[in-house]
């Protein structure tokens, strides 16, 4: 049950990331809603995980949504050389996960390492991310990670430690999102955040 719940919350997170990306396109800007350092390992992990899980519905859903996010972020890259590097990095990380998955609990532990990395990258990239659906993405990401940690912590002490750290970082990220929105107000929040990112 908890596993299905975390699948739903993470899928909802990805959907809002996609909607934020399309909103940026419609407004003529190119502010990403998922940092590249979070997207590349996450997308690569899903490619391997879908096959490893026997094409389970959750992994198929996640990979489908990740493909859209991947394409949006790819479009936001202006220089051709950077687009090539983006693709090459992704291919390299896919190969790394193919190797990691051969290690006992490699798939499980690597998922939480990615989650931990993602929680840090979102914090570091706070001022560079699209303001659209930012609080909602932060909330869903927080809940999705917490539920996943609750379900899987019993399988590994490493997962338990990472779950606690991810919860703390995600909570702080959500706090930053709420504080920025309250401090600036709705209209000024979008105007100021966008101006700072351009």
List, for residues 140-181, the tens digit of each pLDDT value.
999 999 999 999 888 889 999 999 999 999 999 999 999 988
176-186 pLDDT, tens per residue? 999 988 887 66
How far apart are the C-alpha atoms of 44 and 12, rounded to whole Å?
19
Helix (H) or strand (E) segment spanning residue 110: helix 106-124
Burial class (CB in 10 A: 0-12, 13-18, 19+), 78: exposed
Range of the domain at 179: 2-197
The per-residue pLDDT for 195 is 47
Over range 66-94, report the average pLDDT: 93
Q: What percent of the chain lies above the pLDDT cut of 90?
A: 62
**Distance between CA atoms of residues 64 and 112, nearest Å:** 20
Residue 191 pLDDT > 60:
no
> Is residue 59 pLDDT above 90, yes or no?
no
Given phi > 0 = left and psi -120 to 50 = alpha, else beta, which region is 159?
alpha
Long-range (24+ apart) CB contacts under 8 A made by 52-60 are 52/101, 52/107, 57/7, 58/3, 58/4, 58/7, 58/11
62-66, 72-76, 88-92, 189-193, range with the lowest pLDDT: 189-193
Among 44-53, 75-84, 163-172, the range with the most confident prediction by mean pLDDT is 163-172
What pLDDT shows up at residue 167?
Answer: 97
Question: Who contacts 11 (Cβ-Cβ below 8 Å, separation ≥6)?
Answer: 58, 61, 62, 65
- Taking only Cα atoms into account, the Rg of the chain, rounded to an integer number of angstroms, comes to 17
Instruction: Please tell me the total count of domains within the chain.
Output: 1
pLDDT at 135 over 90: yes
Predicted local confidence at residue 104, as pLDDT: 82
Residues near 104 by Cβ (< 8 Å), separated by ≥ 6? none
């Amino acid at each position: 049950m908890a596993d299905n719940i975390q699948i739903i919350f993470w899928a909802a997170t990805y959907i809002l990331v996609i909607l934020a990306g399309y909103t940026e396109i419609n407004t003529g800007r190119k502010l990403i809603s998922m940092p590249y350092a979070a997207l590349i390992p996450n997308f690569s992990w899903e490619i391997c995980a879908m096959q490893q899980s026997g094409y389970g519905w959750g992994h198929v859903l996640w990979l489908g949504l990740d493909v859209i996010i991947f394409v949006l972020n790819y479009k936001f890259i202006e220089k051709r050389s950077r687009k090539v590097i983006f693709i090459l990095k992704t291919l390299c990380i896919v190969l790394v996960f193919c190797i990691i998955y051969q290690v006992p609990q490699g798939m499980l532990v690597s998922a939480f390492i990615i989650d931990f990395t993602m929680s840090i990258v979102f914090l570091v990239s706070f001022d560079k991310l699209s303001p659209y659906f930012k609080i909602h993405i932060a909330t869903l990401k927080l809940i999705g990670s917490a539920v996943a940690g609750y379900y899987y912590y019993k399988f590994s002490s490493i997962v338990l430690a990472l779950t606690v750290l991810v919860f703390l970082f995600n909570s702080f990220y959500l706090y930053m999102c709420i504080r920025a929105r309250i401090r600036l107000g709705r209209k000024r929040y979008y105007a100021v955040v966008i101006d700072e990112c351009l």
